[in-house]
Amino acid sequence: MALGILVDTSVWIDFLNGKETRQVGYLTNYLQEEGAVYVIPIIIQEVLQGIRDDKQFSTVKTTLINFPILDWPSLEAAIAAAELYRNLRKTGTTIRRANDCLIAAYALQFDIPLLCSDMDFELIAGKSNLVLV
């Protein structure tokens, strides 16, 4: 896997809304340094489904699909995410959003750090090999 980062939905939303967070600052600097930023289908879906304006939807869609997309068969990804969720539950950790396990499973599968601002990913990282930026 090439060096790079996977950027979670929450960071993309803050970035697109012009919020000034530590994660947005990191992403902005990373993009300016021409670092590899990867996306996955579920993140594209989550970002796009929240956009109400048709023109912005089109612009953001074009932008996101021009980043390298991590390709993993959906059945394998779904099973890996379910296994991650179950393993976390066995340790007493319940993740609030199943999509977070899917996103984490991609990061783990491709051995790529995740840039996020969601507490669930910190819980996942604490009990797995997930690397957070």
User: pLDDT tens, 13-46?
Assistant: 999 999 999 999 999 999 998 889 999 999 999 9
| Mean pLDDT in residue range 95-112 | 96
Tell me which residue range forms the domain holding 49.
5-65
Q: Is the pLDDT of residue 81 over 50?
A: yes
Q: Tell me whether residue 88 is in a domain.
A: yes
- Whether residues 37 and 78 share a domain: the answer is no
Do β-strands 37-38 and 114-115 pair in parallel, antiparallel, or remain unpaired? Answer: unpaired
Q: Is residue 131 part of a domain?
A: no
How far, CA to CA in Å, does 95 sit from each of 49, 70, 89, 123?
A: 22, 23, 8, 8
Number of domains in the chain: 2
pLDDT interval class at 3 (50, 70, 90) = confident
Reported confidence tier of residue 1, pLDDT bands at 50, 70, 90 = very low
The pTM of the full predicted model, rounded to 2 decimals, is 0.93
Residue 133 counted as domain residue: no
Checking if the pLDDT of 94 tops 60, the result is yes
pLDDT score, position 34: 81
Report the CATH number that the domain containing residue 33 is assigned in CATH: 3.40.50.1010
The span from the CA of 33 to the CA of 8, in Å, is 19
* Strands of the sheet with 37-38, listed across from one edge: 37-38, 5-7, 114-115
Looking at residue 48, its pLDDT comes to 97
Please give the mean pLDDT across all residues of the chain.
Answer: 95
Alpha-carbon distance of 76 to 17, in angstroms, equals 33
